[in-house]
Structure 1
């Protein structure tokens, strides 16, 4: 069991916290879009921001065990995290635009379904960015 955890623990932790982050994103979006009746793109960006805060904290602490020893290292790490999450926000916004505006999937349940499929694509892209670009060189960054 320990051998499996050592091999796949990071992916399992990422998937668990990814589900939590995705729920924050979807619930926030649904509440703001359908409950408060905000424009779907405004609701989407607000939900993105909330979920990125959750994602940064959980990825840093429980997924990639990121440690830094200087404020400079912290700012580099968090800047990279938000930068790459910003790239996936653009994917997210484009996906929502195509689904809701162009394909006219604009009832509350249709918007929710577009958002769920959209999140699958975004989670995969976020893992790639986090694993190989953001948290890969924490020790090198910390020593700068």
Structure 2
């Protein structure tokens, strides 16, 4: 039974999402770390890191993870709007969770960042899978 669940969950899409999710998270963390190191408030650093990582994530998720090769303007526009809206929702979730953990619970900001990142990666996969990318029969050129 566990083997069946494992085989169903661990497929090319999930594995590539995890790989690119880690890379997207690293982009987010590096931008965050650089900004905090430069004495920029953690809230501003979180927002800037989110913007940069969303741009990176859209490209790799569209092409490599969900293999959405349709480049028709109508489709790409829909994907970008949906992706941005869903990432905005997870960005708000990230900011709220960071404020709760750092400001209210007085947790270390880096520990908080790691915990929040796990929650955000899972939420973003669900958003992308369910709401954003549609499989296309067209293959890349």
Class of the TM-score when normalised by the shorter of the 2 chains: 0.7 to 0.9
Q: Secondary structure at the match of 1:115?
A: helix
| TM-score, length-scaled by structure 1 | 0.84
- The question of whether the paired residues in 1 share the 8 Å contact of 2:66 and 2:135 is answered with no
- The question of whether the paired residues in 2 share the 8 Å contact of 1:26 and 1:112 is answered with no
Q: Secondary structure at the match of 1:37?
A: coil
Distance 1:70 1:127 in 2: 23
The aligned length equals 129
Q: Secondary structure at the match of 1:104?
A: coil
Distance 1:27 1:69 in 2: 30
Q: CA deviation at 1:68?
A: 1.8
1:56 matches 2:49: no
Distance 2:129 2:72 in 1: 21
Change in 2 beyond 3 A, CA 1:76/1:138: farther
Q: Secondary structure at the match of 2:70?
A: coil
Change in 2 beyond 3 A, CA 1:18/1:69: closer
| Mean Cα deviation higher: 20-29 or 67-76 | 67-76
Distance 1:38 1:138 in 2: 41
Match of 2:92 in 1: 90
1:129 matches 2:124: no
Distance 1:82 1:95 in 2: 19
- The question of whether the paired residues in 1 share the 8 Å contact of 2:27 and 2:49 is answered with yes
The partner residue of 1:23 within 19, 22, 26 is: 26
Q: CA deviation at 1:69?
A: 3.9
Distance 1:20 1:116 in 2: 14
Query: Which structure 1 residue ranges, 5 or more long, are not aligned?
Result: 140-144
Aligned-residue RMSD, C-alpha = 1.6
Q: CA deviation at 1:138?
A: 4.9
Match of 2:139 in 1: none
The partner residue of 2:117 within 112, 119, 128 is: 119
